[in-house]
Every structure is written in C-alpha cells, then in structure tokens.
A and B are shown apart, each in its own frame.
Chain A
C-alpha cells in the first residue's frame, strides 16, 4: 500500500529541493546585480566628478568651462537620483556631499567671473556657517503652554524621584533641566524626551515608541524602546534595549551596554509596551556625523563587560 506513495513523496521532495536551489541562485544573481550596479555607479560617478572638478579648477574657470561644468553637474545629479534605489546609504550621502562641494565650487567660479566694481569699499559678509552650536535659547513666551496632560519633571537638583505607572503609562514624558538627580519611571510611557540633563540617572520602563535625548552630559540612562535618537550629548552611558535602531548626532563619548536594570512589574510593562523583547540592537549604532564605512565612529563605544553596572540599587 505504501510503496506507490513513496516515489511521489520523493518526487515532491526533489522538486522542493530543486526549487530551493533555484531560488538561492536567483537571490545570488540579484545580489550580484545590485553589487554590480553599485560598482558601476561608483566608477561612473567618480570619473564624472573628477572631470567636473577639472573644469572648475582655478585658474582656468573660463565662462565656457563653467557652463559646461554646470550642465554636467546637473546631469550628474540626475544620475544620482536615478541610482538611489540600489545605493547603500553611506555611498549615497558621500555622493550627495560630493555634489554639494561641486555646486559650491561652481558658485565660487561664477563669483570670480563677476565684474568687480572699481573703488568701492567692500564689506565682506560673514559666511553664514552652519550653526553647529545649539541656537540661542528661545524665549519661553514663544512656546505654547504645555497641555495639562503632559507628564514631566523639570528644573530640579540633587533629588531622587520615583514615578509609578499611574503617572507614566501611555504618556509622553518630558524630563528637562535636571542636575544630580535620580529619576525612576516605573511604567511604560508612550514616548520619552530627556533634555538638558546633567550628571543624573534616568531609569525607565519599556517605552512603546521612541526616546529622544538632547543636550545631556555625564548621565547614566537605562530603558527599552523602539527607537533612540541622541543629539548633542557627551560622556553618557546608555543601558539600552532598542528593537529597531539607535542613532547619534553631534555627540561624543556616548557608551552603550545592554539594558540590565529591572524592577517589579517590568515583565508586565514590556507586554503593555508591545515591544518585541527578543529583539535588541543596542550595539548597532548609526552616527550621522560619521560617514566612513567599515570604520566605527569614534563618538561612541561599548562599555567593557567588567565595567558595566550590575547592581542598580
């Protein structure tokens, strides 16, 4: 009875195997195509870039050369736009930066050709350099008042504060202008913002969406979250669980370790937050100020295991 079934079963297995092999080959081919396209892009882009640089290089800069450079620059921009689908983000940004430099060089070239007025006093305008420094604090009057429902702690020094689930759960929590404080949030907020906090500890239950850290220094943070954005922060340790990605911008001396703080009710709060507890990308950090691929950013590091906090209380 079983004998006739066997070949069919075998056949099916064989068919499955064959399809799988084919699928893998197909994937390989696609991968190869993507890499090839990316390689092709790189060499074509670099060649054209060099050519345009040549056209723009002083002391040449004849009007005709500039116009040709402008045209080719425009085409190069289009080439980049058409290639974005298969370019890795870092390549893309480097290409964009290269284009921007060329654009600036073109602007300079045109400036040089502009006829100069004779005998006029010139007042050199200060270059409007990118404001790397945080802009001046805004007048508080310009801000709309916080809605009654916003949950937050602000303007404290040398205090220890513990907030329970009733004040945290599902809320958008803002901690700002704290110094030498310890803040424990025993619950699952929807989102957490930490701003202008110095030499403090902030420990928080699972954050359902994102955490935003801005202008902090000398702190220890611990929380699980979906995303973490850290801006303008230095010398800070983050004990992190992040289910998608953590990124840095304008930071230095930020250190990471896996989330290890615990409190009674953490399991329940994880469930409330909806975070996938099995996912933790704490050690994959993208630094927006670091574009070199395959070389880790100097602005962050991993806390050596022997130096990590294990006893939190």
Chain B
C-alpha cells in the first residue's frame, strides 16, 4: 500500500478533516469560526498568529486552522497548507475597494501544489450590511467561474447573524467526504 493510501485509511478511521480558513484581514474568519462553535463574538481581536479549533460535527472531527490575514502574515500562510482537505476563503462583501487584492490573493493560493486536492468554499460574509455586494457580484469579481482546478462553491453568509454558515460548512463536508471517505 502506498503512503497516500495509508493516509487515506487513517483519515477514514478517524473521519478527521482539516480545514484552512484564509482571507484578507477583517474579513470575519475568526468570527465565523466562533459563531459556528456557539461562542461569544464580541471579544474577538484581530488575529496575531492563528487559532486552531477542533469541533465535532455530523460525526466528523473538524480541525479548523484560522490564520490571520494582515498583509505581513500572508507570507506565512504557506506554512499551513499541508494536508488541507478544505479551504474556506472568507470575503468581506462590503469591502469593495479591496476586492482586487482579494482576488489576487485567492488566485495565488489556487496554484499552490500543496492545496491542489482541497475543496474550496468561498464565504461572501457580512451579508447583513446594507452595502454588501451580492454573492453573484463577488463571484464575478473573484473570477470564480474560471476555476477548473478545484471543486468550489460560493455562499453568502453573516457571521453576526449566523445566516448560512451551516449550509456552507455542510456543502464543504459533503464534497470532502465524497472524495476522501468513500469505501475502498
């Protein structure tokens, strides 16, 4: 049995999934993670390094890696790519002026070899804001339709109200598990 097959087996046994959350600073990554876990979201500070959280959901063990998105931290993102099953790219839907930065950063991730096998979920976050762009506008601005290398999906959501967070995560899990945990 090759190494990959063994790893696959091990994962299958534990039903363990590794999810990497990235996006520009202020996008709402940490807030999404805490809200999803039912924690208080009023006390969150900008992330200086990263947070790891392990959650049980639908019989999966989800290991979330939430890495800070400030510009000076972005060169460290690569340190977290290894064995990522799902990539969640979080967008502040009301931050029009940084959408181009956002597109470029995402594009540079998608060519990374070590993320080649990961499923991509884009959260168009902050939909509760009156000035938020719709998920379709974001889809165009990020040129998601050009992505041929990854399974992807975009979901509008709000980390403050919790709207659609579960929907997004469930899609991600369905996609990952159909790839990884299928019977051999």
Contact = CB atoms under 8 A, between A and B. Distances in A.
Are A and B co-members of a single complex?
A: yes
A289 B72 contact: yes
B133 interface: yes
Nearest to B101: A135
Nearest to B74: A130
Contact of A170 (B43, B76, B130, B141): B130
Given A190-B128, A195-B97, A243-B43, 7 more contacts: A100-B75, A130-B75, A142-B100, A171-B131, A193-B95, A274-B42, A288-B70
28 contacts: A81-B79, A84-B50, A85-B52, A89-B49, A135-B101, A143-B99, A144-B140, A146-B96, A146-B131, A147-B130, A147-B131, A149-B130, A150-B96, A150-B130, A172-B94, A172-B126, A172-B129, A176-B97, A193-B95, A227-B44, A227-B46, A229-B70, A243-B43, A244-B43, A245-B46, A249-B70, A249-B72, A289-B72
Nearest to B159: A209
A77 B79 contact: yes
Contact of A209 (B43, B131, B132, B160): B160
Contacts of B108: none
Question: Which bucket holds chain B's interface residue count?
Answer: 35 or more
A276 B43 CA distance: 10
Contacts, number: 108
B175 interface: no
B45 interface: yes
A146 B131 CA distance: 7
Interface string A110-153: 00000000000000000000100001001000111011011100
A241 interface: no
Contact of B45 (A96, A245, A274): A245
Given A210-B26, A286-B48, A144 B99 contact: yes
Interface of A: 77, 81, 84-85, 89, 92-93, 96, 99-100, 130, 135, 138, 142-144, 146-147, 149-151, 170-172, 174, 176, 190-191, 193, 195, 209-210, 212, 226-227, 229, 231, 243-245, 247, 249-250, 274, 276, 286, 288-289
Interface of B: 25-26, 42-46, 48-50, 52, 70-73, 75-76, 79, 94-97, 99-101, 126, 128-133, 137, 140-141, 160
Interface residues of chain B: helix, strand, loop or mixed (majority): loop
Contact of B46 (A151, A247, A274): A247
Contacts of B128: 190
Nearest to A232: B71
A144 B141 contact: yes
Given A244-B45, A249-B72, A212 B26 contact: yes
Interface residues of chain A: helix, strand, loop or mixed (majority): mixed
Nearest to A97: B76
Nearest to B47: A89
B48 A190 contact: no
